[in-house]
Amino acid sequence: MERCTVCRARLSDGPLCRRCGSDFSLVLAAQARMHALFSESLCLWQQGHPTTALALAGQAVTLKAEPALLVWRDYLIDHQLHQALGLLEQGESQQAHRLCQQILAVHPAPLALVLRRFIDALTTQAVLPLN
């Protein structure tokens, strides 16, 4: 935060506005937590844990939706959707469905919703066996 949201004065390094006395300690703590979750999400991705990385990115977005974080979350969603399609192609409809559910828990991505409905329709018609 650069400016006080109450009086628009420039904020110094502390959590209190020098002009109106507003306390931004909770806001700054939430922002710090968002950055920590974002960093942890990046590390988990590098370690090969995309599902957990997506969950943490989703948590971080609820704290503060910074543009870089939104791009990262959307990238992870895209990656997981491709994974779900690959699983579906391999006949792993149950795993594909589970992956879509995890994506939708983070963000109601329209493609994930369509894919989940498609998998539901296929499995209820017994076109694809549930593995």
Give residue for tokens 């806001």.
27
What CATH code is assigned to 25-124? 1.25.40
Find, among 104, 129, 126, 107, the residue nearest to 115 by Cα.
104
pLDDT band at 1 (very low <50, low <70, confident <90, very high): confident
Task: Judge whether 27 and 18 are in contact, CB under 8 Å.
Answer: no
- Provide the residue ranges of all domains of the chain, joining segments of one domain with +: 25-124
Distances (CA, A) of 53 to 39, 49, 75, 81: 10, 6, 11, 14
- The set of residues, in sequence order, having a beta carbon less than 8 Å from that of 63 and lying 6+ positions away, is 30, 31, 33, 34, 37
pLDDT in tens, 21-67: 999 999 999 999 999 999 999 999 999 999 999 999 999 999 999 99
pTM for the model stands at 0.78
pLDDT in tens, 72-102: 999 999 899 889 889 988 989 889 889 988 8
